Structure 1
């Protein structure tokens, strides 16, 4: 444990207090660049100025989201200290807060919320951003306020609701890589102060940027259609309901461009070399033997309906209700070995649904005490199916070590058969492992949180949550075309006895809590100290080959010291925080005897420092910058000292928003932004040779890199119309968003390239 870093960060905060040279992207700049309108957030389940919340919190309003050109949370993460998003595909994102990763199967450590409703599964947690009100990113354990899945942070995406004004907005865009986009919104009152309706949609399509060297559809494309309908009903003064329906369809052809760095891409028949082994160049991929129709693709659908209710009983008490039903299905056919050879092909399928009900009572008499009590019920079920297909002839050469010496050329099918000789006829051209892992939970939460203003300057906050889970875990494993002739069972996943569905049930209960003190050092300048106990529910495992087991609850104690506020009449905004996390029973997922199993990896710790800055320098210039140092490490067992996957130690971003009037009829704007991150590993084993039974190359690491994004345009001062051009990754930086993957289990890791430089042009109007 390294408290010297915690104390160093505290010293830096003390210097910040003495000379507030840092500011935070906390407010929207005024039109004249003067005083800003403070963003109101609901991270503590009640409306508050962001400066008054004793939590490290980043908030993006609609104006800021537009300025940075945010289509997804991955775009938002580039400009948020301590928050990283890596989207392997739309159904497989990874979320990292303060160096701790949350992805894969099981309950999440970072939960993504849509209007206060958890998205419940990684496969359903990446979605299109459009017609947004704001996004709140709370860092540090939020189990008390947010509940399940917010062990190290929570992200709440708040959509615009129907209002009593008439408004229309539309935009369209084109670009390279076949980019096309259309977005529209209309809001209208149906009956004044009684009923209003709002509809919005966004369609975004782009061809893949990883070239298919064999011809046909390129990989890593985008094809998204999202639409929303919202209805506001205000039957009486102080009583209102918002009914919201969302649907999103993601159907990019080609799927994910996994790229081997071991074998060259070649024509499977002629053997002609078509490219090189660099992650950013073209690939030759495909399914085989009829799996998924010999196609690679992604097909995902999200649907949810939410009813938000609010009743102002009187000037002091308000009742809030959230009722929601959410359903998703994601299918991806992929070539995980990343080579031209028919070794492995796969289909991953995830589906699930969730019903949520929450009731809260908020007390606020504008006096010394404000607080909230509430209860919630969640009924969810998620399933993950993995169908892997192996050509046993190529797999036999891979397992025996006879395929690797053929690198980098690899072997055509004819060469594989020749290398095997008579053995080729005894092996199956297509063996299949088919396993489905299911998890269901019925969860009851009871929580309370309140703030007491002890003096004019000192406020004390405390919160407590009790959670009870009734969990069910299931597994079913089959071998659709019989046992493998190589293993006499499964190759990657093992079957359950007689292909039966196995299940286990167990109940768990536990507490999480928080305490915080906030002190006003001056007008709009606050310091806070907090302690949070976060809890991730025990994981119930059911194995195809062993009895049910439980990984104990993952617990984290978090200590944080922060400063936030404004200066120079609201033109300067700042936030800084130092923190320390202490984990016990850290849960990680391993494949044990052909079953995905959550196991106890022991202890872990994280400490760091974050600061964010925003300055409205003049009426035409706004600047921002942030920096994050996150030292997150496993501290026990074979992985002792290793950093977490996808987690750089250092990251920063900066940008400027420049607006120059052109007469009285128009203004030109220019928004350059830059983000940078230090090197990071793609797996918790940190690519160490002693922890990799099959792959001994140290190559699954991303070196430090930066991304420059540029946006410029012309618009009317009232923004009724605009014409805009943009470059993402303007310097065409080469980087990788994922490495290792399924092929890493067999010593042939694959890599997924990040987006190259891309150009777009858009036109829009609103009235």
Structure 2
């Protein structure tokens, strides 16, 4: 793709960088004279166990932040052999994370029943993933490897004021460690089931002790996969991932800190999908006997390989994060550029009947400039400007029954501008009023050269306010109430296969969320209990659906605005340390969501191949990725054994069943044909049962040891772990292609029982 994004972003980034550097250089007196106590310093002094979070772009203790937030301790994830972001699933209330297997490093993420599950870069995620303060603009690239993590924060509910558009469900903020500017290293190797092997390392090298340093990092992970070929028994779904780079940090004083990070993500894979077809699906009579009529548990671990599949994803990124203290004002600048090149060639569970090849490129640039400080006693603020730009190009080729069946070509460009303000005002003693707003303007333009001669474009704008009041009746309790609005940009259907669908934009969706919560501490900070209840009014929901179409593929994926939904729920989490070294934590979430007036038109094909258009009413089906219950229970106990510390850990996660796609039950086909065309919408009472993930009971356990290597603090680390100890099997991903008639279904199983061991050292 020939794009002007890179040179434009370099100029903008250089301009911002130069301005910030000039400010820092021109104000050395302020830099030397300013005091910089941590914002949460007094609370940390009162409770050394306090957890510091940056959910509101300022440092605060978790218990003093009037936001529904879960701070996940990286050490707990490392103990159970956590490899990627998917292992966060269930650790926070109402949080669901699965891998989207039709794209490389792609995540489907849902918080409080709000999700958008699609691999296309024309679509915006509903949950914002931020890595070191940088927004990842597509679901591709969000399925991240985990190592060298400093903090993970899951913010639930709309976060539009501080984090911007496309955060209507919430935000997952991940921060990696900064260069320490002291000599040190952390190295770990892991082996496990299914030919899994990994090596991860971080090396810190000082250039000027305490002022300038470099951190090198390298993560490698490979596996043979846990699916089998139905013909040969060969293992399928192998993958090989690399993530490497360096970060340079310059921190000459307490009021200037800059980190430049250069990195690359490189993944190769051989993706395969299992068939979930049953008699009645159009492709069922053409596949091998074992590929039609199987179950959704053990049979999903078998695929029928007829060609060598391949996938690769390569992404390069550069980020410059700077902070300058100017006395009463602190200025932060985050400049980031990221590009990716990927290709995906696979049969979608049809034993060679439907194969797609999807090469595409993507690049994004973002610039955020923030100003923070105290306006007067008891009033602090964060204000800023934000710019985001992206370009992508997709050229998909499709083969049906071995013959070329056309494809999809799309070139997309988007821009977004925003200005925001967030404040805290202590109106009375122990009573704060917080709030603010963000104004966003989005522009999108698309070309569909295979079906349209001209480009299509549209722009949208939105103001997203937030208002919170919190009260501390005692030093150990905070009560709060919040109203916030979230906004997700409109767009065009990136996989449209007909001129009408390509030219028809879908509108933005909005969320109005009301939340009441309480945060409490007890036993001198050894225990916490937080609870929140929420009600969400979700309007103009963007819903991706696959319909039959009069084109070479016979179907197309479009996005429509599915009226609205009402979502309500309760969530709670607690932590408790009754004794030194003994820790318990728990989280529970309940979500009740229901569509309101979800009616769309869909082409229906009769057995004689004639087509009629029928209104289908999906109001009674379950929204996708919205389990009613999530539950997690975790415990760990650290025991001194000689000079070593041995830790026993166990964790249980429960996820209620949930649907993964709006796909009408094929059993209703006969009733629909009997009605034929009618002006009265046909009521669809449920989704196809095959797109439903069953309830999951996931039990993880580990035993780990830290052994001193010398008197200088060097440690050797050893761990034995098992994930999914109960070997709970079922679909991780399931998808129905077209409806009335159904063409075929396919899926991917979740990870079965996995044993592993790791060893490493750090100093």
- TM-score, normalised to structure 2, is 0.82
From 445, 450, 463, the counterpart of 1:511: 463
Q: Is the 8 A contact 2:113 2:626 kept in 1?
A: yes
Superposition pairs of residues 674-753 of structure 1, within 5 angstroms: 674-685=652-663, 687=665, 689-690=667-668, 698-716=689-707, 720-742=715-737, 746-753=742-749
Q: Is the 8 A contact 1:726 1:759 kept in 2?
A: yes
Distance 1:619 1:366, change over 3 A: farther
**Matches of 1:269 and 1:464, distance apart in 2:** 56
Q: Does 1:390 align with 2:381?
A: no
From 569, 581, 587, the counterpart of 1:626: 587
**Matches of 2:217 and 2:669, distance apart in 1:** 50
Q: Secondary structure of the equivalent of 1:63?
A: helix
Q: Does 1:92 align with 2:135?
A: no
Distance 1:711 1:222, change over 3 A: farther
**Residue 511 of structure 2 aligns with which residue?**
556
Q: Does 1:436 align with 2:449?
A: no
Distance 1:100 1:432, change over 3 A: same
Distance 1:358 1:634, change over 3 A: same
Deviations 1:145-189 (A, max 9, x none): 101211111111111111232211111121221111111111122
**Residue 22 of structure 1 aligns with which residue?**
none
Q: Secondary structure of the equivalent of 2:140?
A: helix
**Matches of 1:195 and 1:737, distance apart in 2:** 45
- TM-score, normalised to structure 1, is 0.82
Superposition pairs of residues 52-63 of structure 1, within 5 angstroms: 52-63=64-75
Deviations 1:44-72 (A, max 9, x none): 11121122221111112332332343221
**Residue 130 of structure 1 aligns with which residue?**
147
Distance 1:581 1:45, change over 3 A: same
Q: Secondary structure of the equivalent of 2:228?
A: coil
- 1:434 shift after superposition: 1.0
- 1:590 shift after superposition: 3.4
- 1:458 shift after superposition: 0.4
**Residue 37 of structure 2 aligns with which residue?**
none
Superposition pairs of residues 494-643 of structure 1, within 5 angstroms: 496=451, 500=453, 502-540=454-492, 544-546=498-500, 548-591=503-546, 593=549, 595-637=556-598, 638-643=617-622
**Residue 50 of structure 1 aligns with which residue?**
62
Q: Is the 8 A contact 2:80 2:721 kept in 1?
A: no
**Matches of 1:666 and 1:541, distance apart in 2:** 57
**Matches of 2:194 and 2:389, distance apart in 1:** 42
From 236, 242, 258, the counterpart of 2:274: 258
**Matches of 2:216 and 2:124, distance apart in 1:** 33
Q: Does 1:655 align with 2:646?
A: no
**Residue 317 of structure 2 aligns with which residue?**
304
**Matches of 1:565 and 1:349, distance apart in 2:** 51
Distance 1:331 1:216, change over 3 A: farther
- RMSD over aligned Cα atoms: 2.8
**Matches of 1:757 and 1:232, distance apart in 2:** 41
Distance 1:176 1:270, change over 3 A: same
Q: Secondary structure of the equivalent of 2:455?
A: strand
**Residue 7 of structure 2 aligns with which residue?**
none
**Matches of 2:271 and 2:493, distance apart in 1:** 30
**Matches of 1:691 and 1:151, distance apart in 2:** 35
Deviations 1:401-444 (A, max 9, x none): xxxxxxxxxxxxxxxxxxxxxxxxxxxx4132210234321111
Does 557-566 or 53-62 show the bigger shift?
53-62
**Matches of 1:210 and 1:743, distance apart in 2:** 26
**Residue 9 of structure 1 aligns with which residue?**
none
**Residue 76 of structure 1 aligns with which residue?**
88
**Residue 256 of structure 2 aligns with which residue?**
239
- 1:677 shift after superposition: 1.2
**Matches of 1:214 and 1:366, distance apart in 2:** 73
**Residue 329 of structure 1 aligns with which residue?**
341
Unaligned runs of at least 5 residues, structure 2: 1-39, 41-45, 550-554, 599-616, 674-685
Q: Is the 8 A contact 2:395 2:409 kept in 1?
A: yes
**Residue 226 of structure 1 aligns with which residue?**
243
Does 107-116 or 710-719 show the bigger shift?
710-719
Q: Is the 8 A contact 1:360 1:372 kept in 2?
A: yes
Distance 1:385 1:709, change over 3 A: farther
**Matches of 2:345 and 2:75, distance apart in 1:** 38
- 1:372 shift after superposition: 1.0
From 327, 345, 358, the counterpart of 2:355: 345
**Matches of 1:261 and 1:618, distance apart in 2:** 54
Q: Is the 8 A contact 2:478 2:518 kept in 1?
A: yes
Unaligned runs of at least 5 residues, structure 1: 1-26, 28-33, 288-293, 392-428, 478-495
**Matches of 2:477 and 2:579, distance apart in 1:** 22
Aligned length in residues? 664
Q: Secondary structure of the equivalent of 1:533?
A: strand
**Matches of 1:308 and 1:661, distance apart in 2:** 40
**Matches of 1:217 and 1:123, distance apart in 2:** 28
Distance 1:540 1:752, change over 3 A: closer
- 1:40 shift after superposition: 1.7
**Matches of 1:682 and 1:127, distance apart in 2:** 21
**Matches of 2:380 and 2:665, distance apart in 1:** 50
Distance 1:300 1:608, change over 3 A: same
Q: Does 1:178 align with 2:173?
A: no
Q: Secondary structure of the equivalent of 1:69?
A: coil
Distance 1:39 1:443, change over 3 A: same
